[in-house]
Amino acid sequence: MAGAPTVMGFLINATAEEKRKLPNVVNYFAAAAPPPAATIRKLEAEGFNVIHVYGLTETYGPAVVNAWHDEWDALETDKRAEVKARQGVNYVVLEGISVRDPETMEEVPRDGETMGEVMFRGNVTMKGYLKNPKATTEAFAGGWFHSGDLGVWHKDNYIQLKDRSKDIIISGGENISSIEVEDALYRHPDILEAAVVARPDEKWGETPCAFVTLKAGATLTEKDVIEHCRANLAHFKCPKTVIFTELPKTSTGKIQKFKLRETAEGL
């Protein structure tokens, strides 16, 4: 089966009465948004094997897969989930995938730390946007399709998304990945769903703002959530604001971050 991280959350948080023992391991293709490592770990504990895929409508859907290495089975649970959270390598039908500086078009070092834009090239990539030559020219600047996703390249050639370029939070000149903060939030046992966006800040330019949905019967304060993050992240990456609410989603379960950004801007 396949689904977005929201569907993974439904399976993990189903009641005991709703759950059934699986006769076999179920292969679950995680797509639509990067699932936190904590979510992958919890779903695999329920009897699912998570296979991470990634792509865009412009790349004929998924074009990158986290092809698993047998030796990774020996990793301890948390580390294995971290590796599965990477997007991976290109399918054979995609000529190439790269992580590059969008200004210079130079490849970033494969050090797992230097951030760049993920780019695609190949015959499964679109020819262009219909009747929109300007957008097409911008999207293919330098001969590669620019995804708008920011990521790093690991030394084993596997890419890992860090954020959408529009979702990266720049606080006091430091880049903060909303995905990294969300992963920390999902480690809390009382948090059902979480999303992080930038909130304008007079001193720092912008700071992380977390929108959190709690599990039924759970009670947390803003201070509780921030302290949990401070125990798991560098302090400058931690949310300065926490809003407890239901998260707006599309019909396929994608969280509508543009609506959350509008709310954060109005706080």
Question: Are 152 and 193 in a shared domain?
Answer: no
Compute, in degrees rounded to 10, the torsion defined by CA atoms 162, 125, 69, 25: 90
State the pLDDT confidence band at 247, using cuts at 50, 70 and 90.
very high
For residue 166, the model assigns a pLDDT of: 84
Backbone angles phi, psi at 80, to 5 degrees: -65, -40
Residue 56 reports pLDDT greater than 90: yes
State the pLDDT confidence band at 254, using cuts at 50, 70 and 90.
confident
Residue 143 DSSP symbol = G
Question: Are 81 and 33 in a shared domain?
Answer: yes
Distance between CA atoms of residues 112 and 119, nearest Å? 16
Token pair 């990521």 is at which residue? 151
Q: What is the pLDDT of residues 121-168, one digit of tens each?
A: 999 999 999 999 999 999 999 999 999 999 999 999 999 999 888 889
Question: Are 31 and 59 in a shared domain?
Answer: yes
State the pLDDT confidence band at 180, using cuts at 50, 70 and 90.
very high
Question: Are 80 and 142 in a shared domain?
Answer: yes
Give the global pTM: 0.83
CATH number of domain containing 192: 3.30.300.30
Q: Which domain holds residue 32?
A: 1-165
Compute, in degrees rounded to 10, the torsion defined by CA atoms 80, 77, 113, 31: 60
State both tokens at 116.
Answer: 């760049």
Task: With both helix axes pointing from N to C terminus, report the angle between 5-12 and 37-44 in degrees, rounded to the nearest 10.
Answer: 40
Nearest to 247 by CA among 205, 201, 206, 209: 209
* Residues contacting 250, CB < 8 A, separation 6+: 256
Domain final position from 119, 147, 165: 165
Question: Are 17 and 119 in a shared domain?
Answer: yes
Q: What is the pLDDT of residues 9-20, one digit of tens each?
A: 999 999 999 999
For residue 158, the model assigns a pLDDT of: 97
CATH number of domain containing 161: 3.40.50.12780
Question: Are 76 and 208 in a shared domain?
Answer: no
Question: Are 38 and 105 in a shared domain?
Answer: yes
Backbone angles phi, psi at 83, to 5 degrees: -65, -40
Question: Are 66 and 127 in a shared domain?
Answer: yes
Question: Are 26 and 123 in a shared domain?
Answer: yes
Distance between CA atoms of residues 145 and 73, nearest Å? 34
Count of structural domains, the chain: 2
Burial class (CB in 10 A: 0-12, 13-18, 19+), 19: exposed
Question: Are 145 and 206 in a shared domain?
Answer: no
Question: Are 181 and 204 in a shared domain?
Answer: yes
**pLDDT over 90 for what percent of the chain?**
88
Distance between CA atoms of residues 252 and 267, nearest Å? 28
Domain final position from 109, 141, 165: 165
Question: Are 158 and 204 in a shared domain?
Answer: no
